[in-house]
Amino acid sequence: MRTIEIRTNEREEMLDITGQVERAISEEGLEDGACVLWSLHTTAGLTVNESADRDVARDIGSWLADAAPQGSGYRHREGNADSHIKTSLMGPGLTLVVSGGQLQLGRWQGVFLCEFDGPRTRRVVLQPVHAT
């Protein structure tokens, strides 16, 4: 298992962490199988989506802001209930296929950390699953 640390810069942002995941897969010596990624936070999720056009991430962020607006009379006293809701919508984990030591993503796909309560240092664990 390996931990990837990501420093976020804004309260809400989607950071492309594909390169960090690929390096971790290489360092783990994973040739064929899968890798499980898991965010260790209740206000930061993970997703796979288009990485070629940053407007896609912006559009996702705008939709989530409309779906769960900040400071909308939530009961959670810490003031970040919207962050918890957005993380639940995105999800905290991913399982990704690895073949020939390479992450199997489509041409436009990237792996994103979705920050909803930053800026912070976030940790994502990567657990390799070797094919038998």
- pLDDT confidence of residue 75: 87
Q: Quick: pLDDT tens for 79-125.
A: 899 999 999 999 999 999 999 999 999 999 999 999 999 999 999 99
Q: What architecture does CATH give domain 2-130? A: Sandwich (2.60)
Instruction: Describe the strand order of the beta sheet including 109-115 as a list of residue ranges.
Output: 13-16, 109-115, 44-50
- pLDDT confidence of residue 71: 84
Quote the tokens at residue 83.
């962050």
Q: What share of the chain is helix, strand, coil (3-state, %, to 5)?
A: 25, 40, 35
Q: pTM (2 decimals)?
A: 0.95
- pLDDT confidence of residue 73: 87
Gap between the Cα atoms of 95 and 77, Å rounded: 33
Q: Where are the domains of the chain?
A: 2-130
Model confidence at 67, pLDDT cuts 50, 70, 90, reads very high
